[in-house]
Structure 1
C-alpha cells in the first residue's frame, strides 16, 4: 500500500457564532480514557468522480463546522492536589486526513474471504493509540484508501470524546454534507456540566491480555430469523417482553459459553458465567438524541454454566431482559455520579457485545452510492469481541466476531447458532 499524502483538516469557518470553545469530560467520558479509539470502515465500489479526495477533504471541513470538538485536541489541567481534569480544547487544530492507495487489492478481496483478511487493519488510522495518550494529537482521523475497484473509508475517533451514537452521528452528517446538503439533519448538542471532574494520576492503558491468534468473521441474521429467535425466547421464557436484541444476546451468551466449554473440557459446570451489557443512557434520562459525547455505561448479570446451558434460550433471555429493566433513570444517574468508577464492570465476561443495530451504517452515501460493507478496526484484540451492525437489508443484523481459532470453529459448528443463521 502506498501512503500518498497526509494533512490536517480544520473547520471551514472558525468564526461560527455561538461555537463551543471548550468541552469538559464527564465521568462516562473519563472511564474510556484508558482504552482505544473507535475504528469503523466503510467499503464502497469505485466512484466515477476524479476528484474524490479533494471533495472529501472539503466536505469534512464543512462538516467540522458543526462538530468543533472533533477538530480540537484533548487537554488536561493539573491541580494543586496532584489530580488533573480533562477537557477538549476546540482550537481547530484539525482532524487528520490520509490518502492511500493499493492497486493490488479489490473490494472482493476484502469481503469475499471466509475470514476478514489482515490487510483490512492497515486501512485504519490511530491504530493502538490509547485515548488518554492522544494529548495534543488529532481526536478524529480519516484514511481514504483507493482500491483497485473501490474505496475504503476508515475513520477513527477518540472514545473519550464520542460513543458509538455520536460517532455515527458525525459520519451520517458528513455523508449529508458530501452529497451537497447545506445543513445537517440532526444538530449535535454539547450542553453539559461545566464543572471539571478531577481524576488521579493513575491512568494507564488497560493491560493487554495474552490471547491466541484470532480469527474474525461476519455472520448474518435476517429479519425473519431474528423474529423467529425473539418468538422462541419469549415462548420458552414465559414472556412477551423480550426484544430481538435481547434474544440475540441470549443466543450469543449460550453459544460462546458452549464454545469455551468445548475447547476446555476441564471447566466446571458450576462456574459463574458473566454477561455484560453496554447500556445507552440518552433515552433513559431524557438527553437530547443529538447529545455529543459518551452516554453509555456497562451493567452485568451472571448465572452458572449449568443453568445457562440446561435451561434453554428463554432462561438466558429473561435474565438479560431483567438486567435491562433494572436500568432505570435512578440507576443511570447513580452510575453517572460514580466518578470513582466503582460501578464499572470488573468481572471478565466470556464475551462482549458492542455496537448497535440502531446506528445508520448503510445510509452513508457520500454522493456515489451506499457502502457495500462495514468493518471494524483491530483496536485491542479481544477473544470474544462481537460487534453488532444493522445489515444492508432492513431488519437484519451483521455480527463481526473475533475469536480464537478453535472457538471460531466451534461456533461455526454450534447447532443452536447455525440454526438461527439458516436461510
Structure 2
C-alpha cells in the first residue's frame, strides 16, 4: 500500500529487500571493525543523492528501470556483502564480543521505491538545482536506515544494526533519483563511491546485454590484517565511543528546522585567482587547500556579520578538520580498493580575529597546508596523534569547529547506470562538502548546509570576495 512521507514530497509505493545471489557454501562472514571504523562510532548516518535526467513514465519505471536496478544491486552485493550485513556492537566494555560487521546468508539491503508527489514547482528541476532548498525536502529522497535491535551474544548485550538503505524516486517524465543512507562505521567516502560505481557499471552492462560481471575490476579488498594497531586504538576508541554514546543519549535530538542546502560553483579561473592571492606566501598550493581556506574565512566573516562576534579578548579559536586518506600512506600501504574506513583527521586552528583579518585567507591556506604536510610527512607516520584525537576533541568542546566532506578526487559524476551521467550529486546535511564539477575542467562544486540567515550571509561574502578580487 502506498504511503506519503517527507512533508508530502514523495509517495512510497514499495518496500523490498535485496540480497546477493545465494551461496550455500557461505552461511556467515565476519569482518572485524578496526580503529579506523570505530573512530566514527557515534557519527550520524550519511545521506547522499544522485539525480538523473530521463523522461520515463511511471509504468516504464516500475516495469523496466526498477527490475534492472534491483538485479544489478543484488549482483553488486555479491562482491560488497558487508553492505547487506549487520553491525554487531557491544553496549558495554567486554572481553567477549568484538565489534564486527556480520553477514548471514539471506541478509539484505532495504530498498524503497517512491514517486514524487509534491507540487510541480518543487519537483525535479527545483530539487536538483543549486539554490537553497530545505534540507527536509532533499531528505525525502533518502530512506531511513531500518531500526536496529538488541540481543545477547556470549553473555554480552549487543546492538545489531543495518548499515545501508537505498531509495529510488521517480519524477514522472523528468527523471529519477538514487538516495543512499549508510552508517559511517562500514565505509568511508572512497569505499562508498567504489560501491556505487560498481553498481552503476553492472547495471550499464545489463543494458548492453553483457554478463561478464565477475571479470570487472570491482572486487574490494577485505583483509583486516593489513591494519596494524600497536597502540590498541580499537580498544581506546570503543571505550571512548561507548561513553560518548551514553552522553549523547541524554542530549536533545538535533533538528533540521530552518536548515537549507545549497551549492556554489567555483571554476578553474577563480581557483587560480585564489592561488594567485597567496602566491607570495605559498608558491605551491593545491586547489583543495585554497578552496578550503577561502570557505573557512568566509564562514568566519559570516558569523561576524550575524553578530556571532569575537569576544573582548579576541581569543575565540576556530578549528578546521580534514579527512586524510591513509591507504597509500600507511607502512606498509594498503590497496586502494580496501573496503572500510581508512581516513584520519588533520586539524588546523586559528583565532577568529586572525581569520577575518586582512591576511586571513593567506593565514588559513598556510595553516591548512602546514597541517596536512605535518600529518602526512612526519617521521612517526600519518597516524601520529590519532590515539589521543578524542582527548583533543574534548579539549576544544565549545569551540567553533567543522570539517569538509566529500573529495574532488572521487568521480561522482562518472556514476552512469547506463542512462547518462548524473545531473546533480548532493551530499546532504554536511556543513561543507567538496565535489568535482560536472561541467567544467578544474572547477568544483561547494555543498553547503546552514540556517537560512547563515546561508544568505555566507553566499554574499563568498561571491563578493571573488568579485572584489577580480576573479569572477
Same structural fold, with TM-score higher than 0.5 when normalized by the shorter chain? yes
- 1:128–1:359 Cα change, 3 Å: farther
2:33 matched residue in structure 1:
25
Paired positions, count? 414
* Largest Rg, 1 or 2: 2
- 1:203–1:270 Cα change, 3 Å: closer
Is 2:465 the counterpart of 1:416?
yes
Q: CA deviation at 1:232?
A: 2.3
- 1:20–1:188 Cα change, 3 Å: farther
- 1:103–1:122 Cα change, 3 Å: closer
Alpha-carbon separation, structure 2, partners of 1:296 and 1:131: 28
Tell me the SS of whatever aligns to 1:301: strand
Q: 1:9-52, CA deviations, whole angstroms, 9 ceiling, x for partnerless residues?
A: 111243588x9811101112112121222211000112656511
Q: 1:371-392, CA deviations, whole angstroms, 9 ceiling, x for partnerless residues?
A: 10012334xxx7xx11111110
Q: Which moved more, 1:198-207 or 1:137-146?
A: 198-207
Aligned 1:283-302 pairs, distance under 5 A: 283-285=328-330, 286-302=333-349
Q: CA RMSD in A?
A: 3.2
Q: CA deviation at 1:219?
A: 0.4
Q: 1:84-132, CA deviations, whole angstroms, 9 ceiling, x for partnerless residues?
A: 5310012241111111112545321213473124422111112697999
1:386 matched residue in structure 2:
432
The gaps in structure 1 that reach 5 residues or longer are none
- 1:115–1:80 Cα change, 3 Å: closer
2:54 matched residue in structure 1:
46
1:142 matched residue in structure 2:
166
Aligned 1:349-388 pairs, distance under 5 A: 349-378=400-429, 385-388=431-434
Q: 1:123 aligns with which of 135, 141, 145?
A: 141
- 1:141–1:422 Cα change, 3 Å: farther
Q: TM-score, normalised by structure 2?
A: 0.79
Q: CA deviation at 1:78?
A: 7.7
Q: CA deviation at 1:419?
A: 5.5
Aligned 1:251-330 pairs, distance under 5 A: 251-264=294-307, 266-268=309-311, 269-285=314-330, 286-308=333-355, 309-328=357-376, 330=380
Q: Which moved more, 1:201-210 or 1:272-281?
A: 201-210
- 1:121–1:162 Cα change, 3 Å: same
Alpha-carbon separation, structure 1, partners of 2:450 and 2:76: 37
Alpha-carbon separation, structure 2, partners of 1:24 and 1:220: 40
Alpha-carbon separation, structure 2, partners of 1:421 and 1:25: 49
Aligned 1:29-178 pairs, distance under 5 A: 29-46=37-54, 50-76=63-89, 81=94, 84-92=97-105, 93-104=107-118, 105=120, 106-112=123-129, 114-117=131-134, 118-126=136-144, 135-148=159-172, 149-178=174-203
2:7 matched residue in structure 1:
none
Q: Which moved more, 1:93-102 or 1:68-77?
A: 68-77
Q: TM-score, normalised by structure 1?
A: 0.87
Tell me the SS of whatever aligns to 1:65: helix
Alpha-carbon separation, structure 2, partners of 1:53 and 1:12: 18
Q: CA deviation at 1:189?
A: 0.9
Q: Which moved more, 1:190-199 or 1:278-287?
A: 190-199
Aligned 1:143-222 pairs, distance under 5 A: 143-148=167-172, 149-180=174-205, 182-183=213-214, 184-193=216-225, 197-198=234-235, 199-200=238-239, 201-204=242-245, 206=248, 207=251, 208=253, 213-222=258-267
The gaps in structure 2 that reach 5 residues or longer are 1-9, 152-157, 206-211
- 1:223–1:420 Cα change, 3 Å: farther
Alpha-carbon separation, structure 2, partners of 1:408 and 1:421: 23
